């Protein structure tokens, strides 16, 4: 007899319980926040040959609760002098950002944390609850410090919670 893809002991009720615990832990206990700047695709001109852009335009920033870990910090010395290199990992609760905030983190977006701007380089969903692919619970982004000439925040645009930052949400 063929077995279906659901788990014997882990169902939607258990996944919802885990999501509720995660949300409470991150938002009520840890209370760690970032300011997130999503790229505005329609206003950003990209190169036809490589698909890259020299100037990115960003939407209004969003304040998001997430876990932030300083993954790597090193001082690099080159021909032009010394440079601080920071790398962070951002741990988002998947259902919270997709269902409640209405967006999905993307490569190229910028996060502001600890008085520094970081550009997202990778986005993954490696954590599975109960080992099942339909029960993904986290989104992990790795980001590196953004140079000032690459990103400068627009100070005149305040945070607006009524604007949905991403209309093409990836749900599965």
> Is residue 156 in some structural domain?
no
CB proximity list for 116: less than 8 A, separation 6 or greater: 86, 145
What is the per-residue pLDDT for 161?
54
CA-closest candidate to residue 155, choices 66, 31, 35: 35
Q: State which residues form the domain around 97.
A: 12-41+58-145
Question: Does some domain include residue 157?
Answer: no
Q: 89 exposed, middle or buried (CB, 10 Å; 0-12, 13-18, 19+)?
A: middle
How many folded domains does the chain comprise?
A: 1
Residue 50 maps to a domain: no
Residue 119 resides in a domain: yes
List pLDDT tens digits, range 151-168. Answer: 666 654 555 555 555 544
Domain membership flag for residue 73: yes
Confidence band of 2 (pLDDT split at 50, 70, 90): very low
163 domain residue, yes or no: no
- The distance in angstroms from the start CA to the end CA of the chain is 27
Q: Could you tell me whether strands 116-124 and 110-113 are parallel, antiparallel, or unpaired per DSSP bridges?
A: antiparallel
Residue 150 belongs to a domain: no
Token pair, residue 146, equals 């953004």
What pLDDT score does 162 carry? 58
With CA atoms as reference, report the closest residue to 138 among 94, 83, 82. 94
In a domain, 68, yes or no: yes
What's the sign of the alpha-carbon dihedral 125, 47, 54, 58? Answer: negative
What pLDDT digit, counting tens, does each position of 114-140 carry? 888 999 999 998 766 776 667 777 889
User: What is the full DSSP assignment across 50-81?
Assistant: T---SS--B---EEEE-EEEEEEEEEEEETTE
């Amino acid at each position: 007899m063929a077995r279906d893809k659901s788990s014997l002991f882990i169902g939607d009720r258990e996944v919802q319980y885990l999501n509720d615990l995660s949300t409470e832990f991150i938002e009520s206990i840890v209370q760690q926040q970032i300011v997130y700047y999503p790229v505005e695709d329609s206003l950003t001109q990209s190169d036809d040959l490589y698909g890259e852009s020299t100037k990115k335009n960003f939407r209004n920033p969003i304040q998001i609760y997430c876990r932030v870990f300083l993954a790597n910090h090193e001082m690099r010395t080159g021909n032009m002098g010394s440079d601080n290199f920071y790398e962070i990992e951002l741990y988002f609760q998947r259902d919270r950002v997709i269902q409640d905030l209405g967006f999905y983190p993307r490569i190229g977006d910028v996060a502001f944390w600890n008085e520094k701007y970081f550009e997202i380089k990778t986005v993954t969903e490696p954590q599975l609850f109960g080992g099942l692919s339909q029960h993904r619970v986290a989104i992990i982004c790795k980001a590196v410090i953004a140079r000032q000439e690459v990103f400068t925040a627009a100070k005149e645009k305040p945070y607006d919670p009524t604007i949905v930052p991403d209309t093409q949400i990836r749900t599965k």
